[in-house]
Amino acid sequence: MNVTPGGADPDRLTLAPVEALPARDSFIARHRFPILLLGLLGAAFSPIFVRLSEVGPIAAAVNRMALPLPLFFAVLWLRPQDRIPMGTPAGRREFWLVALSGAFFAGDLALWFSSVMMTSVANASMLSNVTPVFVVIGGWLLFKDRPKPMFIVGMVVALMGSAIMMAESLQLSGRSVAGDLLAMSAAIFYAGYVLTLGQVRKRVSIMATMAIGGLVATILLLILAVFTEDQIWPHTMNGWLAAGGMALFVQIGGQMLIAMALAYVPAGLVATMFLMSPIISALVAWPLFGESITLNQFAGGAALLAGLEISRRGTTKE
């Protein structure tokens, strides 16, 4: 899926200050926008691969998280400087915060992947994009980062757009409404992931966060899948291609590239560019699954995206 890693205030959502990054990252600094665009494009294909998967939604999340882990841990083993120093109290604290971020991410994937199977790709993608609203609310409650009144206006507009989209689902079936609610619930878990990871990313390498957080998420998702679904791994070539595509394009080519670029791209611009993801998902789903976008969905989605942009502009403290 698919939102903005960072800290408690989404207008300051940044993974690490540029000056703290070593010279070896200069390539990323020079090509930050192409890297970000590639990451957004990869993340936008997440619901598409979930639909193409031959396993259940929770198992599909296991596939996405588990398959890239050998690569992440191999790089971590080859680069000792990227590891978390477990011999210090501060290092152990960082480890547990990264683990907590993985737990939040597991909850996000479980809910969002399930929503993709129950409602339209457009609704699942757009409704899960309300994460910035919950990030600001969490930052307000936990870290006393009070937003401008403009944020409240944007939040109301975004929620009205969400209500329009869910009203469209109500005309289809109760299952679609349940899928919409799961997508919005996923946004809450992703907000927890953002807030938690924002506390450690300035001090912990991206490879450590991807490896340790990914391992925790995989374990939790695997336990959930064992109790709720009959099949964990694909059994045909097409199934493995879908799982491999999700791991390669979404987790590595999407989530990791976005995190890399965020160190050098202004967070406000990133938040705006993230609004492209649900549009890309909906346009790709149209020919693949025959999910044409209705007038109500278009109007609700436009209001939702407009509200998120208004909220983004009102996230700095007065």
Q: What is the pLDDT of residues 12-54, one digit of tens each?
A: 333 333 334 444 457 777 887 788 788 888 887 888 888 889 9
Q: How far apart are CA 312 and CA 309, in angstroms?
A: 5
What's the pLDDT at 79?
A: 92
Q: How far apart are CA 267 and CA 288, in angstroms?
A: 33
> What are the boundaries of each domain within the chain?
10-313
Mean pLDDT of the chain: 76
What's the pLDDT at 261?
A: 72
What's the pLDDT at 218?
A: 96
Q: How confident is the model at residue 291 (pLDDT cuts 50, 70, 90)?
A: low
- Of 315, 286, 261, the closest CA to residue 135 belongs to 315
What's the pLDDT at 42?
A: 85
What's the pLDDT at 222?
A: 96
Please tell me the number of Cα atoms within 13 Å of 165 on its side-chain side.
34
Which of the pair, 104 or 268, is modelled with greater confidence? 104
pTM of the prediction?
0.73
Q: How far apart are CA 252 and CA 38, in angstroms?
A: 11
End-to-end CA distance of the chain: 32
pLDDT tens string 120-156: 776 776 676 676 667 767 766 776 666 677 777 777 7
- Of 25, 31, 43, 38, the closest CA to residue 205 belongs to 25
What's the pLDDT at 187?
A: 83
- For the stretch 274-277, contacts whose Cβ atoms lie closer than 8 Å and that sit 24 or more positions apart, written own/partner, are 274/2, 274/3, 274/4, 274/40, 274/129, 275/129, 275/305, 275/308, 275/309, 276/40, 276/44, 277/2, 277/40, 277/43, 277/44, 277/125, 277/129
pLDDT tens string 150-203: 777 777 777 777 667 656 655 555 567 788 888 888 888 888 887 787 677 777
Which of the pair, 165 or 78, is modelled with greater confidence? 78
What's the pLDDT at 2?
A: 43
Task: Yes or no: say if 272 and 309 are a contact pair by the CB < 8 Å rule.
Answer: yes
As a dihedral over the C-alpha atoms of residue 280, residue 284, residue 1, residue 251, rounded to 10 degrees, the angle is -110
Question: Could you give phi then psi for residue 260, rounded to 5 degrees?
Answer: -65, -45
Q: How far apart are CA 158 and CA 278, in angstroms?
A: 14
What's the pLDDT at 243?
A: 93
Residue 81 gets which letter from DSSP?
G
Instruction: For the chain, state the CA radius of gyration.
Output: 19
Q: Residue 129's Cα: distance from chain center in Å?
A: 9
b/e sequence 22-49, b meaning 16+ C-beta within 10 Å: eeebeebeeebeebbebbbbbbbbbbbb
Q: How far apart are CA 156 and CA 78, in angstroms?
A: 48
Residue 251 gets which letter from DSSP?
I
Task: State both tokens at 204.
Answer: 């912990």
Which of the pair, 254 or 124, is modelled with greater confidence? 254
Q: Which of 104-118, 135-149, 151-165, 259-273 has the highest mean pLDDT?
A: 104-118
Question: Could you give phi then psi for residue 4, rounded to 5 degrees?
Answer: -100, 110
